[in-house]
C-alpha cells in the first residue's frame, strides 16, 4: 500500500504540470489522455517497486464501468415498467450469502446494491454472513438468478478491488 502513494503523487504532479502548461481550460478528454499517458509511463518503471497499483487500477475501472452499466440498465427496466399499463415487477426479499468480511467491503456492497433501482439493502444478519436485499424482479427471473447476479456481479468485482 505504501508503494502506491509515489505512483499517484508522481502522476498528479506530472498531470498538474501539463495542465498548467496547457492552461486550466483543458477538456476532460485531454485530462483522461494525460492520466493514461502517465499510467503508461509508470507501468514499465513498476518493476522497481510494488505492482499492486497497476493490478488494482484496471479492476477498479472494471467495477466502475460495470456499476454504471447496471445502473443504466436498471433505470431503463424500472422506467419501462412505470410507463407501461401492466406491471411486470414481482418483489421479493433475498438472503445474499456474503464473501465480503470487513465493514468497508460490506458497506460498499450494500450501497452499490441500494443505489441501483429495483434493489435495496435491508439488513445484515447477526453473524454477518447474509445481506438481506429487497429486489423487484420480472416474471422470467427467479430469486436464485438475483443472488447469482449480485454475487458474480457487484460482489466479485468489489472483492477483486478490495483484496
pLDDT, tens digit only, all 163 positions of the chain? 444 455 556 666 666 666 666 665 556 666 666 777 777 777 666 666 666 666 787 888 899 999 999 999 999 988 888 898 888 788 889 999 999 999 999 999 999 999 999 899 999 999 999 999 999 876 678 888 899 999 999 999 999 998 8
Q: How far apart are CA 132 and CA 153, in angstroms?
A: 17
Alpha-carbon distance of 124 to 111, in angstroms, equals 13
CA distances from 45 to 1, 2, 63 (A): 17, 16, 25
Give the three cell numbers for residue 118. 429495483
Does the pTM of the predicted model rise above 0.85?
A: no
- Closest to 57 measured CA to CA, from 35, 26, 72: 35
Asked if residue 18 lies in contact with residue 34, where contact means CB atoms within 8 angstroms, the answer is yes
DSSP one-letter code for 25 = T
- For residue 61, give the nearest of 76, 39, 46 by alpha carbon: 39
Amino acid at each position: 500500500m505504501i508503494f502506491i502513494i509515489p505512483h499517484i503523487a508522481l502522476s498528479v504532479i506530472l498531470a498538474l504540470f501539463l495542465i498548467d502548461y496547457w492552461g486550466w481550460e483543458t477538456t476532460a478528454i485531454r485530462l483522461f489522455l494525460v492520466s493514461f499517458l502517465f499510467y503508461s509511463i509508470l507501468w514499465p518503471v513498476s518493476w522497481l517497486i510494488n505492482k499492486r497499483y497497476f493490478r488494482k487500477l484496471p479492476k477498479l475501472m472494471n467495477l466502475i464501468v460495470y456499476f454504471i452499466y447496471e445502473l443504466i440498465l436498471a433505470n431503463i427496466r424500472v422506467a419501462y415498467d412505470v410507463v407501461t399499463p401492466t406491471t411486470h415487477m414481482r418483489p421479493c426479499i433475498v438472503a445474499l450469502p456474503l464473501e465480503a468480511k470487513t465493514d468497508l467491503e460490506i458497506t460498499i456492497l450494500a450501497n452499490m446494491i441500494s443505489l441501483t433501482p429495483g434493489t435495496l439493502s435491508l439488513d445484515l444478519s447477526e453473524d454477518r454472513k447474509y445481506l438481506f436485499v429487497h429486489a423487484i424482479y420480472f416474471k422470467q427471473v427467479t430469486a436464485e438468478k438475483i443472488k447469482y447476479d449480485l454475487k458474480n456481479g457487484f460482489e466479485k468485482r468489489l472483492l477483486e478491488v478490495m483484496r
